[in-house]
Structure 1
C-alpha cells in the first residue's frame, strides 16, 4: 500500500527518517529473539529504516495496542498510524490532491532484516521454526498443495472429520488440501505471537488451527 501524494521525495526526507534498508545497515530494535526494524516506503518504492529510537517508540506503541504515535525529526512532527500503516506530517493539513501542493503519506511496515526480497525470493528461518512444512515463495501470496499422508494433511483431516462428526459413515471425502501462504498475514501473526510471549509469557499462548472447507465442485474451479 502506498499512501504518498504528488510531491517529489527529497533527500532531506530520506535523511530525516533513517537510512535505506539493506543487510543490517542501520537502525534496528530488539523484539523477542529476533531483530526487528520499522521502515517507511519512499516515493520510489524503496524501504527506509527509521532511527533506532523511533523504531523503539513505534514498537512500544504497537505493544500497548495503541493506534498512533508521533515522532519528531529535525523539528518536524510526523504521525505514524498503526491501523492504516502509514505516516504523514502532522504540522500541516493535507489539502485536496488536485491542488498539487499536498503533503505525502507513506506506507510503513515492521520488518525483520532476514526477510529478503532479493531476486523475488521471500524467505525467513523464522517460518521454519514455527511451520517446518512452509514452502519457499517467489511472491507474497502462494497456494501450495499439501501431500496426502503428510502430518499437515492428517492434521486437517482429523480436524474436519471431528468437527463434522462423520468419521465412519463415509458421507465426507477430502478432494485435496491446500495451504495458503500469505506472507503479510504470517508476519502479523509472528509479531503478535512474540508480543504476547514478551508481555505475558509463552504459557499464555492459546493457539489453535483454523481451516476453511468448500465443496469439491467449487474447489476445482
Structure 2
C-alpha cells in the first residue's frame, strides 16, 4: 500500500531569525557606561591636578639644582654631580614639556570633549540597553566624538611629547610612538562605530527585509477570451 506523500509548507517568520539575546547590546551599554565613568573621573582629575597630574616629581620629589661642577672634588663627588645633573636636565625637559602642553590648551580641549562624550553617552547607553531603533545614530555620534577628540588632542600633543622623548638619553628611539599617536588614537572611536553597526544589524536590519518571491502573492489579471466556435483559427 502506497501512502500518498504530503507536502508540508513551513512558514518561517523572518523575525524569528532576528531573535537575538538583548544582552549583546546591553553588554555594550555596560561597557560604554564604564568608559563614561572613566571620562567623568578624568574630567575631575584634570580639573584638580591639571595637565601635570600626579607624576614622579609630585609631593616634593623634584631634584635639586646641582649647581656648578666640583672641579676640585673627589672622583665620587664628580660622579654624583654628573648623576644629579642628568636628573636635573630630565626634570627641566619634563617641566618644559608640561608648560608646552599647558599652553597648547590640550586640557581645555580634553574637558570640552569629555562633556560632549557625557552628553551623548548617556542616551547612547539607553538606546543600546533597550535596543532602540535609533541605537545606530547614537552609536555613530558617540564614536565620531571619540575620534575627533582623541585625534585632535594627539595632533596637538604628539610633537611636544616627541621633542621631550628626543631630549632624554635613549628616548629618541621611541619618539616615533608619540608621532604615530595621531593614527592610533582613533582606534577606540572606530571600535565604537563598528560595534554599533554590527549590533544594529543584529536587532533591526533583518526586520526590513522584503518577503521572498515564494511568499509574495501576485495578482494576475483575468484575461477574457471570446469563444468563436469551430472557426477560432480564422479569428
Given the two structures, how large is their TM-score scaled by the length of structure 2?
A: 0.21
Give the structure with the larger strand fraction: 1
- Higher relative contact order by CA 8 Å / sep ≥ 6: 1 or 2? 2
Give the structure with the larger helix fraction: 2
Given the two structures, how large is their TM-score scaled by the length of structure 1?
A: 0.22
